[in-house]
Structure 1
Amino acid sequence: MTEYLVFRLYAPLASWGEPAVGETRPSATHPGRGAILGLLGAALGIRRDDDEGQNELHESVRVAVKQRSPGILLRDYHTAQVPGERKGVVYRTRRDELSAPRKVINTILSSRDYRCDGLWTVAVWLTPGATLTLETLEQALKTPHFPLYLGRKACPPAAPLDPRRVTAERLKEALDTEFPKLIRDEQQALRLSSESLYCWEGEAAMLDGKEEGVESNDIWDSPLNRRRWQFGPRIEYRRFVRLEEGS
């Protein structure tokens, strides 16, 4: 039996960053390891420049996600004004950029993706060398030090995370933890499908003891240095599971 900390993520808008090239800022359909550690770090009060605290969190937990609904893709078109390079001039803040002479201001076009009305369950468990406890993480999510966001500051959670510790024999049991419905007709309003996507790290058979139908991918979302936005690879296992009749 393993103890897990499980909680729910829902918001009208969420954005789970993926590698960005050029002007496009895509979003994954579900939160990855970096997003979940960022959420836990904010709850604990760990700042981005706190390398020791970030590393302690990184080395203490493993994560898994159950996607009930990926949400609907929303693409937001952006324009931003930024100054061009000027010899001997360093812009340290956005205010410095906007105070630059108009003749050196350029306009950058970009698009940012969001997931509308997505619904996910997250499970966190401790590594053998963990220095944090699930009790500490649970309390932090209940009374977070910093505001919590689902990817970007424009995406605050719209429902309680309702964190709780559960003991289960298999990871799937923990991810299938029931939470109070957000609204009465949740199935139709959130466009919940007849199957759920499970994503986890560890071993292929860790979800429920079966390897049949399990896919694996190298995902570059494991934080190495938050200040430099450096991420390393990890193996993520995935499997779609059809809901049982009447569930």
Structure 2
Amino acid sequence: MEILVFQLYGPLASWGSPAVGESRPSSDHPGRSALLGLLAAALGIRREDAANQQALASSVQFAVKQLAPGQVIRDFHTVQVPKRDRKARYTSRKEEMAFSSERLNTIISRREYRCDGLWRIAVTVTGNSDWTLQDLEAALRRPKFMLYLGRKSCPLAAPLFPTIVQAEGLQQALSGEMPPVHEQQKRWLGLSDSVDYYWEGEAGDLQAQDTRYPEDNVVSRERWQFKGRREHHARVKEAG
């Protein structure tokens, strides 16, 4: 089984989860939408390029090994929104802002971030993919657009180290062939011997303990439309 593995680390990350009102929470690990966006940016696929965005989405599956979820940090932002109008229907942020300042209100938006999180990502491709793992590895080494951890204010703080490995399953792939995490780093990041795995499809060497249904499967990147998907999870105790 050939798998592309890379790591994500930054002082701040924000992995968007379903938002209600002014609250913008963050998941504890990168979801499918965030990882697709990162690969698309590396490949140079623009958000409005619906054909290639959809082709990429149907070409790859992801798995995440969460070494450290990071500490939750909450921040406050002021955001402009149109004044209440029961007759108005907005399909995009651009339409919401297409008014003079007299018809806009300012509200406080609460946003969550993850501080000092560390994740390892595995990517597999389908048989009819337009991109090989070698293409994706090369793109991550020399990305066409800037890569970030969920928000543009959350840049990467360590190399991705993209590597293609041969493994019997996702756990084996995500547990080797990467820069090791030393004892000092473990203490700094608050790492333990128990780690969380999240994955799509078949894992090979992991047994699912529960299955979740996050709403982060991209329908349209341009219109910000998403649907649910199956995500398996297991918490595993690993030595070293």
Query: Normalising to structure 1: TM-score of the pair?
Result: 0.88
CA distance in 1, matches of 2:220, 2:136: 21
Q: Structure 2: any 5+ residue segments left out of the alignment?
A: none
* 8 Å Cα contact 1:63-1:123 kept in structure 2: yes
1:38 is matched with which residue? 37
Matching of residue 13 in structure 1 with residue 5 in structure 2: no
Determine what percentage of the aligned residue pairs are the same residue: 50
Deviation per CA, 1:169-189: give whole Å up to 9, x if none.
111111112433578720111
Q: Say if 2:116 is the partner of 1:111.
A: no
Aligned-residue Cα RMSD (Å) equals 2.5
Which of 32-41 and 173-182 deviates more? 173-182
Does the 8 Å CA contact 1:16/1:30 hold for their aligned counterparts?
Answer: yes
What SS is found at the alignment partner of 1:185? helix
Which string of whole-angstrom CA distances, capped at 9 and with x for unpartnered residues, describes residues 82-129 of structure 1?
45379xxx99599976xx44x544211110000000000000011122
1:52-201 equivalences in 2 (<5 Å):
52-82=51-81, 84=83, 100-101=100-101, 103-180=102-179, 185-201=184-200
Counterpart Cα distance in 2 of 1:225 and 1:182? 37
**Corresponding pairs, count:** 236
Q: Residues of 1 paired with 2:104 and 2:130: CA distance?
A: 48
For residues 77 and 4 of structure 1, the distance between their equivalents in structure 2, rounded to whole angstroms, comes to: 39
Deviates more, 1:181-190 or 1:112-121: 181-190
Asked if 2 retains the 8 angstrom alpha-carbon contact of 1:77 and 1:111, the reply is: yes
8 A contact 2:81–2:97 mirrored in 1: no
AA aligned opposite 2:28: T
1:225: which partner in 2? 220
Aligned residue in 2 for 1:25: 24
Instruction: Quickly say closer, same or farther: Cα 1:148–1:116, change in 2 above 3 A.
Output: same
Deviations 1:155-207 (CA, angstroms, capped at 9, x unpaired):
0100000101001111111111243357872011111122100000103xx24
Bigger Rg, structure 1 or 2: 1
- C-alpha distance in 2, partners of 1:128/1:153? 33
Structure 2 counterpart of 1:185, which letter?
Answer: Q
| In structure 2, C-alpha distance between the alignment counterparts of 1:61 and 1:129, rounded to whole Å | 10
